[in-house]
């Protein structure tokens, strides 16, 4: 049988540092989307809390922390990263494995806000977008999920097929921000 080589979405592209900002790839151990069945939102949140120690996130928010995080992911859906979701949650929600579907990168450093300001038509400055806040928004014509994971750190996700475009656009913006000094 052929020995298959697994490649990460941004294989060979990252990490890259330009000025004070570093772009690196993040590979969560698992990614699963949770879409609660009608009327099961509270029961799902309680079960998620019991199984993984984090509730179902409110709109535009995330719960948990690095290693086990639940991110609001769209209308009626959250994405759990880092842990394999307990199978008993299938009683309350539709679970879908997203592990191979998304490119996950981390934009870190002083000026990361300025880089994203060039690409995302949403105010991501610290005063309005704090740690744990998340948005689904456009990033250079791609449907992105952006979460603040630290004081100067963002997690950016797009469809895996767009990984190369994402890296290209972020690198271009990083260089432009750096060039302004």
**For residue 99, how many other CB atoms are within 10 A of its CB?**
14
- Which residue of 17, 74, 90, 161 would you call a contact of other proteins, by CB under 8 A? 74
- Which residue of 1, 38, 179, 180 would you call a contact of other proteins, by CB under 8 A? 38
Nearest C-alpha neighbor of 109 from the set 22, 35, 50, 16: 22
Using CB under 8 A as the binding rule, whether residue 59 contacts other proteins is answered as yes
- Which residue of 17, 46, 138, 168 would you call a contact of other proteins, by CB under 8 A? 138
Using CB under 8 A as the binding rule, whether residue 137 contacts other proteins is answered as yes
Cα separation of 43 and 26, whole Å? 31
Task: Give the C-alpha distances (Å, rounded to integers) separating 64 from 3, 80, 142.
Answer: 36, 9, 26
Query: Of the ranges 18-26, 28-36, 133-141, 153-161, which one interacts with other proteins (CB under 8 A)?
Result: 133-141
Using CB under 8 A as the binding rule, whether residue 1 contacts other proteins is answered as no
- Give counts: helices (H), strands (E), the chain: 3, 11
Q: Minimum distance between the CB of residue 74 and other proteins, rounded to whole angstroms?
A: 4
Of 21 and 98, which CB lies nearer to other proteins in the complex structure? Answer: 98
Give the DSSP H/E element, type plus range, for residue 100.
none
Using CB under 8 A as the binding rule, whether residue 148 contacts other proteins is answered as no
Q: Minimum distance between the CB of residue 27 and other proteins, rounded to whole angstroms?
A: 25
Q: Minimum distance between the CB of residue 59 and other proteins, rounded to whole angstroms?
A: 5
Q: Strand runs (DSSP E) across the chain, as ranges?
A: 16-18, 21-25, 31-36, 62-65, 68-74, 77-81, 93-97, 102-108, 134-139, 142-150, 153-159
Using CB under 8 A as the binding rule, whether residue 58 contacts other proteins is answered as no
The CA angle 131-143-56, to the nearest 5 degrees, is 45
What residues line the site for other proteins (CB under 8 A)?
38, 59-60, 74-75, 121-122, 135-138, 143
């Amino acid at each position: 049988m052929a020995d298959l080589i697994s490649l990460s979405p941004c294989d060979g592209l990252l990490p890259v540092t330009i000025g004070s900002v570093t772009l690196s790839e993040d590979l969560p151990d698992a990614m699963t989307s949770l879409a609660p069945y009608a009327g099961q939102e509270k029961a799902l949140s309680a079960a998620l809390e019991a199984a993984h120690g984090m509730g179902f996130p409110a709109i535009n928010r995330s719960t948990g922390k690095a290693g086990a995080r639940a991110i609001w992911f769209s209308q009626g859906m959250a994405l759990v990263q880092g842990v394999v979701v307990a199978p008993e949650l299938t009683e309350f929600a539709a679970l879908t494995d997203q592990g191979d579907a998304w490119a996950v990168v981390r934009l870190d450093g002083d000026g990361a806000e300025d880089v994203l300001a060039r690409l995302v038509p949403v105010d991501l400055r610290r005063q309005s977008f704090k740690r744990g806040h998340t948005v689904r928004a456009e990033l250079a014509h791609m449907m992105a999920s952006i979460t603040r994971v630290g004081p100067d750190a963002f997690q950016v996700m797009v469809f895996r097929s767009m990984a190369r475009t994402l890296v290209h656009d972020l690198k271009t913006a990083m260089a432009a921000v750096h060039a302004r000094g």
